[in-house]
Amino acid sequence: MAGANQAIYDPRSDRFWNRADLREEMLRVFDVCQGCRLCFKFCPAFPSLFDSIDTAHDGETRQLTGPEMRRVADLCFQCKLCYVNCPYTPDQHHPFNVDFPRLMLRERMVRGREEGITPQDRFLGNPDLSGSLGSLTVPFSNWAIRSRPMRIAMEKIVGVHRDRELPRFNGTTFDRWVRKREKKLKKKTGGTGGKVALFYTCSVNYNEPDIGKNAVAVLAHHDVRIAIPEQRCCGMPYLDGGDHANAIENLKFNVRSMRGFADDGYAIVALQPTCGYVLKKEYPWLDAGEDTRAVAAATVDIGEFLMTLHARGKLDTSFRTSPGRVLYHFPCHLKAQQIGQKSRDLLQLIPGCEVEVVDRCSGMDGTWGMKREYFDASRKVASPIILRAEESRPDRICSDCALAGLQIHQGTGMRSAHPVEILRESYGLSLEV
């Protein structure tokens, strides 16, 4: 973004936080969107916007009320698909300079500063706290998320829908598991396959440690040196709730922890698409410092890293077994990274593996799909994935996104694996390293 318009999207500028300026920018962008309407199908935000303009205001965008504009921001769950498909973005060097997702984040952040963060968003914004407490109290915590009376109470207290399937907690976090093996991994791997600092993410750490174990097994198999930096949640749940201050705190912690690895030639490998997107794209937006930019430049998705090994002729393609027919869900936040379908490409290297791609949004966005207010809308967004899975009846379903996998499981009863799990199984590797 260049010129005077840069400040409207820059959280470090006073203009960014000005409510009157925000309203004018929202009206300007909404007017562009209502004239284009390319993004009507991506999320509920656009139908809500167009309905308000057409029905309530006879096509006059400037007559939109504050509550109507607020509703649009609330219905945006940051899938980024509108930005990927928009012809008017800063990346396209278009004078309209439209960045709808960040404008919606701006609205939430300004609202959070003016009105404070809601109890619901404080709870959902801190998965490190809820995850650590849940892991420490297994099996009680897993009983609680299955107990109807407890779920009704949770819905009333923190606004998590009583019918939302929640990820179970693991009594042994991935961080605890892998740190016990750090010395063994260092002795076992020489680094001929490269050096990796794992950003394993909060969902892997507390709920899906097997994703991390699968990644470690596959990386070690390729003689990749593995480091485990101290880390916090990437901060996207805080941003979802408008909590700019805590998002910045997590950013600073993670950048301090990972900058040295970036300088030493380590690839910072993210095991979840949203977290990789945040490190690559949102961190430099929130903080343009040299350290942040260095960490962003070093960040890659796990599938992206493995396909880089393949391009260098260092990926083992001597697979022992085939998963058969695989339905692969392509997550929005991988598409937003604009790196292609690397996990699909990996799976297609396995002899006998037939990959069918479902390129639709799961409607989760972590916190949005869990909220009482948006549970039904979230499932409606995901319905094309569920329908495809039921029609296809593949041997395996997989998605890089654990929460998309949760949505798929709730809709179909079929478990969704991470692609790296299918790779490990096809190599015939043990989870123990």
Does one domain contain both 412 and 327? yes
Tokens in use for 170? 């693991």
| Interatomic CA distance for residues 231 and 257, integer angstroms | 7
Percent of the chain at pLDDT > 70 equals: 99
pLDDT of the residue at 4 = 42
Instruction: Please name the amino acid found at residue 165.
Output: E
In a domain, 432, yes or no: no
| Interatomic CA distance for residues 198 and 270, integer angstroms | 6
In a domain, 202, yes or no: yes
Domain boundary, last residue among 94, 127, 158: 158
pLDDT of the residue at 432 = 87
> Is 49 within 8 Å of 33 (Cβ atoms)?
yes
Percent of the chain at pLDDT > 90 equals: 94
In a domain, 213, yes or no: yes
Does one domain contain both 414 and 329? yes
In a domain, 194, yes or no: yes
Cα–Cα separations (whole angstroms), residue 209 to 177, 213, 229: 8, 6, 16
Does one domain contain both 297 and 373? no
> How do residues 97-132 score in pLDDT, each as one tens digit?
999 999 999 999 999 999 999 999 999 999 999 999
| Interatomic CA distance for residues 275 and 269, integer angstroms | 10
In a domain, 166, yes or no: no
Which stretches within 140-206 are classed as H helix?
140-144, 148-158, 174-179, 182-188, 202-206
Given a cut of 80, is residue 1 above it in pLDDT?
no
Does one domain contain both 20 and 135? no
Count of domains forming the chain:
4
Handedness of CA 307, 205, 177, 198 (dihedral sign): positive
> How do residues 52-94 score in pLDDT, each as one tens digit?
999 999 999 999 999 999 999 999 999 999 999 999 999 888 9
Does one domain contain both 323 and 403? yes
Within 8 A by CB and 6+ apart from 343, the residues are 303, 328, 334, 398, 400, 419
Does one domain contain both 225 and 197? yes
> How do residues 153-172 score in pLDDT, each as one tens digit?
999 999 999 999 999 999 99
Given a cut of 60, is residue 2 above it in pLDDT?
no
Domain boundary, last residue among 158, 188, 221: 158
Tokens in use for 165? 């399937």
Given a cut of 70, is residue 177 above it in pLDDT?
yes
Given a cut of 80, is residue 3 above it in pLDDT?
no
Does one domain contain both 130 and 110? no
- Residue 8's pLDDT band (boundaries 50, 70, 90)? confident
Given a cut of 90, is residue 223 above it in pLDDT?
yes
Does one domain contain both 214 and 247? yes
CA angle 51, 56, 58 (to 5 degrees): 90
Does one domain contain both 274 and 345? no
Does one domain contain both 277 and 192? yes
Residue with tokens 């992206």: 304
Does one domain contain both 90 and 194? no
Domain boundary, last residue among 93, 115, 137: 115
User: What domain range is 89 assigned to?
Assistant: 3-115
What CATH number corresponds to the domain at position 420?
3.40.50
pTM over 0.85: yes
In a domain, 164, yes or no: no
In a domain, 301, yes or no: yes
Q: What is the mean pLDDT of residues 261-283?
A: 97
> How do residues 352-401 score in pLDDT, each as one tens digit?
999 999 999 999 988 899 999 999 999 999 999 999 999 999 999 999 99
In a domain, 379, yes or no: yes
Does one domain contain both 305 and 322? no
Given a cut of 60, is residue 274 above it in pLDDT?
yes
pLDDT of the residue at 365 = 84
pLDDT of the residue at 379 = 96
